[in-house]
Structure 1
Amino acid sequence: MNIRSSRKQVTFAHPFTLSGYADLLPAGNYDVLVEEELLQGLSFEAYRRTSTHMIVTGRAGRAEMRPITEKDLEAAIGRDQAAPQPGGAE
């Protein structure tokens, strides 16, 4: 089984929450790790996502890898982008 991993960074301008977690996370940059596996038996190369994790740094600098879904991540990003900007007109 061939696995590939990728990392991207997402930026939140406002404090936010993730589905399944009670705490409010501060605005800032967050690393997101994605793992995918190669689908076998196809005539072309294709991958299927097997996991998505967001790295959240907590108290005392302790990092936590929180499993999330792509749908929940996109929803959090959408809410952040829809929030009014400071000093902007509503």
Structure 2
Amino acid sequence: MTSRTPQTVVHFSSDFRLPGFDAPQPAGDYRVDHDEELVEGASRFAWRRIGAFMHLPAIATRASTQQMVPINPADLEAALAKDLEQS
């Protein structure tokens, strides 16, 4: 099966926390990978999201270690909406 991983950048204006994170993350820009697989239909193609991962720490942060943490896209959208309300 064919797959792809588009990458986006999300911005948080204030500290945030997603389920499964050990601690709140500071405001900043974060890379997010969306793993998708191709779904073939009779007349067209579509992509189905099968996973999402956030890169930690934030892009501008210099750190000796980096990690990719699995996230739920719905949790990310909720955290971004909350952050927008607080700004």
**For this structure pair, what is the TM-score category when the shorter chain's length is used for normalisation?**
0.7 to 0.9
User: 2:46 is matched with which residue?
Assistant: 46
| Residue 36 of structure 1: aligned partner | 36
| Cα separation, 2, equivalents of 1:22 and 1:63 | 15
Q: Deviations over 1:24-73 (max 9, x none)?
A: 10000000001100013432111111110000128843111010011010
Q: State the partner residue of 1:75.
A: 78
Aligned length: 84
- Consecutive unaligned residues of structure 1, counting only runs of 5 or more, are 86-90
Alignment partner, residue 68 of structure 2 = 65
State the AA in 2 paired with 1:5.
T
Hey, what does 2:22 align to over in structure 1? 22
**Highest CA radius of gyration, 1 or 2?**
1
TM-score of the aligned structures, taking structure 1 as reference length: 0.84
Larger relative contact order (C-alpha < 8 A, sep ≥ 6)? 2
Distance 1:80 1:69 in 2: 17
Q: What SS class does the counterpart of residue 46 from structure 1 fall into? A: strand
Gap runs ≥5 in structure 2: none
